[in-house]
Structure 1
C-alpha cells in the first residue's frame, strides 16, 4: 500500500471511530485475518475500545502486518481446538481482561462453544460478540439460547460487495494454481458445494468463464435458487463428486467427509473458501493415501488407481494471493466498529442482532467520500 493510500485509510478510520466512540469504551479482544491493510483497522478498534489482544487467524497472517500491530498491542495464538474447551477459553479471557466489561470480535464463531461459561463465570462482564462471517453467524444462531447479545455483520448489505469480490479472488487463485500445473478451467466440469453468498458468486463467475457448473446444497431452497439461475443441481452428493474435475467447497461446514474423497474423479482439484478444519475431514482420510507436493500450494493425494489434487492444503485458496477485495472491506470493518458502540450501550437483549440502517447509511456515505474516486 502506497503511503498516500495508507494516510487516506487512516483518515477514514479516524472519522469512523469518532462517529462510533462511546462515553465508556469497553475492553476488547479481536480475532482477525492479519492482512497487509489490517493495522489501520486494528488501530481503530483500539481507539474506540481498550484492545487487550489480537488473535490472528493462523492461515492468514502477513508478517509485516503482524510486526506493525505488535508495536501497539499483543498478538496471541488462535486455535479452534483450544477455544472449543470452555475452561481453556475462560482461562485465556481472564488472563487478558479480568474484571472488565469486554466485547469479543469474532471471525468464524471461535467463542461460540465457550460462550455460556464465559457469560456465567467470567470475573468481568461479556457485553456481547460481534461476528463477521456466515460460518460464525450460523454457529451462534443455531444455539437454542444465547447468553448475551451477538451482533452479526455477516448478512449486512455492506458485506455484499466483499462477498462478490471474495468469490472473484477464489476463482482467480484456483485458476492460477491449475494453470501452474498445466491445466485450465475450460472443459473441466466444476462442482460448487454450498450456494450461499460466496458459493453463488463463485458459481456465476465460473459460468462467465464458460465452465459447466453443477451446484450441491443441503438446503432445498438454495437448490431451487440455483436451478432458477440456470445451474445444474445435483440430486445427491456422491454423483456430483464423481463427475467433477474441480470441486469448490463453500459451506462453512464440513463439505467433504472421509468417504467422499474416494468418489472424486481422477485428477480432480479441490479448493475451499475457508479453513481446512471447517470444510474438509482430512484427518479421516484413509491412511492408504500418500501425499506428495505437486507444485507450489498443490498437494497430490494418491493411492492405487486413484488420485486428486488439494489446493493450499485445504485452506482458503484466495489467501495465497492476498485475498484482496480492495477498499470494500472497509465497509464491513466500519460496521464492526459500529457494533462495538451498539453493545456498549448495554440495552440489547441476549440473541442475534444487526447494526441499524441509520448507522449503515452513515458508514456508506463516509466510505463514498473517501473511496469513490
Structure 2
C-alpha cells in the first residue's frame, strides 16, 4: 500500500463517520450490492480527485466492491476529512490527501494518483483531467462532478487536447437539481453558521450568481429570515431571480447594503477591492464556488492594514478606512472547509450517478469528448431514490405513450 495522509490512527473515528453516511445513502448502497455480485470493474484502475469526505468514502468502497483498484487525491487543499482518509487507507485504497496541503503538495498528490496506468479518471473541478491532458494520459474514460469542471473539460475538448471520453455527471438532473440546489443551499449556510454563529434572520444576504447553486443558497437564506439580494451578469437568470421575489442589482450597489456576501458563479474577481471598500463595517465574505478566486483574496491582502484569525475558518481584515470585513475559509469552498460538505442524502444520488457512469464507460466505446449521462441512468437513480423514501409514482399506459408520440389528438 502506498499512501500519504495525516495520521492512520484516525481510522476508527473515520469508520464511524462512514457508517453514518452509509445509513443515509440507500441508492448507492444498493448499487454496491449489484457491483459486489457482478464485479463490473474487475481489474480496472481508477484515478480519482475528489473531496475526501465520508460520502466520497461510500463511493470509493462501492467502486472497490465492483473490483476496481483506486488511487485518490483531494480536489481541494482544505476539504479533506483526515479521519476518513485514514479509514480508506485501512480499506486498501491508495489515498494521497490531508487537510492543509500546500499548493505544491496538492498538485503533487494529483500527479501521484495519475502515475502509472489508469483506466478511468474521476474528477471534481477538472484539475485531474487537465493534468492528464497535459501529460498525455489516454484513459478508457472519465467522469466530472462539477459545473466548473465541465466548463474546463469542454475547453480541453474545443482545443483538441481531451484524449478520451468524459461523462459530465454534473449535468444529470439527479445531480444538479438536488446536489447543486439543495446540497449547496444547505451546506453553504451551514459553513457560514459554523464559522461565525451569526443570526441570519434580519440580515441582508447578497448572493452572486443565480444558477442552480445560487438559487439554492438564496432559497435557504430567505428561509432563515434574510433579505436576499442577487447579483448577476446573465439577463435571463437575473429575470428569474426577480420573478422568484428577490431583489436584483449590481454588485457595486449591493456592496453598500449587504451583511453577508456569498459568491456562486464559477468565475474570478466577483468581489474585488472596488466592492470591498464600499462594504459595511463587519461584512462577512464567503465563497461557494469551486476555486478560491471569486472573492479576490489577493485584493484583500493588498489593501488590509491588519489581519487577524479570530476563529477557526474566520479571518478579520481591517481596511484603510477603518472598517473590518471577515473572510470565511480563506475564500475556499465554504461548505467543505468550514462544514462537512453536502448532506449524505443528496450525495447519494450524485455518487450513484458517478458509479453508474463508470460502469457505462466500460460497457461501450465512446469517442473522445464530453458526453452526457444517459437519461435512463438518470431516471433509474431517481426511481431508486423515490423507492428508498417509500414513494411510488404512476407509469404511462401503452395508449398514453402512443398518444405522446403522435401528432393526432
TM-score bin, normalised by smaller chain: 0.7 to 0.9
Matches within 5 A, 1:325-340: 325-340=343-358
Distance 1:312 1:84 in 2: 17
Structure-1 residue corresponding to 2:124: 107
Matches within 5 A, 1:75-94: 75-77=95-97, 92=112
Distance 2:164 2:149 in 1: 15
Q: CA deviation at 1:225?
A: 1.4
TM-score, length basis structure 1 = 0.84
Structure-2 residue corresponding to 1:74: 94
CA contact (8 A) 1:16 1:334 kept: no
From 277, 292, 306, the equivalent of 1:262 is 277
Distance 2:20 2:254 in 1: 49
Q: CA deviation at 1:66?
A: 0.9
CA contact (8 A) 1:25 1:49 kept: yes
Matches within 5 A, 1:229-244: 229-234=244-249, 236-244=250-258
Matched, 1:251 2:269: no
CA contact (8 A) 1:84 1:114 kept: no
Structure-2 residue corresponding to 1:297: 313
Structure-1 residue corresponding to 2:223: 208
Matched, 1:361 2:379: yes
Structure-1 residue corresponding to 2:324: 307
Distance 1:209 1:91 in 2: 42
Q: CA deviation at 1:30?
A: 1.1
Q: Give secondary structure in 1 for the equivalent of 2:356.
A: helix
Q: CA deviation at 1:172?
A: 3.3
Q: CA deviation at 1:371?
A: 5.4
Distance 2:302 2:204 in 1: 28
Matched, 1:167 2:185: yes
Q: 1:67 to 1:80 in 2, by over 3 A?
A: closer
Distance 1:139 1:260 in 2: 27
Q: CA deviation at 1:43?
A: 1.4
Q: 1:348 to 1:246 in 2, by over 3 A?
A: same
CA contact (8 A) 2:71 2:94 kept: yes
Provide, for residues 38-83 of structure 1, a one-character-per-residue CA deviation record: whole Å limited to 9, x for no partner: 3221111223353341112322222221111112021124979569
Matched, 1:186 2:201: yes
CA contact (8 A) 1:84 1:113 kept: no
Structure-1 residue corresponding to 2:80: 61
Task: Let me know the Cα RMSD of the aligned residues.
Answer: 3.1
Q: CA deviation at 1:309?
A: 0.8
Q: 1:293 to 1:371 in 2, by over 3 A?
A: same
Distance 2:20 2:53 in 1: 18
Distance 1:249 1:4 in 2: 30
Q: Give secondary structure in 2 for the equivalent of 1:172.
A: helix
Q: 1:129 to 1:62 in 2, by over 3 A?
A: same
Structure-2 residue corresponding to 1:117: 134
Matches within 5 A, 1:4-15: 6=22, 11-15=29-33
CA contact (8 A) 1:257 1:280 kept: yes
Structure-2 residue corresponding to 1:349: 367
Matched, 1:198 2:213: yes
Q: 1:91 to 1:295 in 2, by over 3 A?
A: closer
Q: CA deviation at 1:115?
A: 4.6
Q: Give secondary structure in 2 for the equivalent of 1:184.
A: coil
Structure-1 residue corresponding to 2:63: 45
Q: Give secondary structure in 2 for the equivalent of 1:300.
A: strand
Structure 2 residue ranges without an equivalent (≥5): 1-15, 392-409
In the alignment of these two chains, the number of paired residues is: 360
Q: CA deviation at 1:213?
A: 1.3
From 34, 42, 49, the equivalent of 2:52 is 34
Q: 1:226 to 1:20 in 2, by over 3 A?
A: farther
Q: Give secondary structure in 2 for the equivalent of 1:60.
A: coil
Q: Give secondary structure in 1 for the equivalent of 2:309.
A: strand
Matched, 1:131 2:147: no
Q: 1:80 to 1:17 in 2, by over 3 A?
A: farther
TM-score, length basis structure 2 = 0.77
CA contact (8 A) 1:30 1:106 kept: yes
Distance 1:184 1:222 in 2: 28
- With 55-64 and 270-279 compared, the bigger mean Cα shift is at 270-279
Distance 2:130 2:60 in 1: 25
Q: CA deviation at 1:4?
A: 8.4
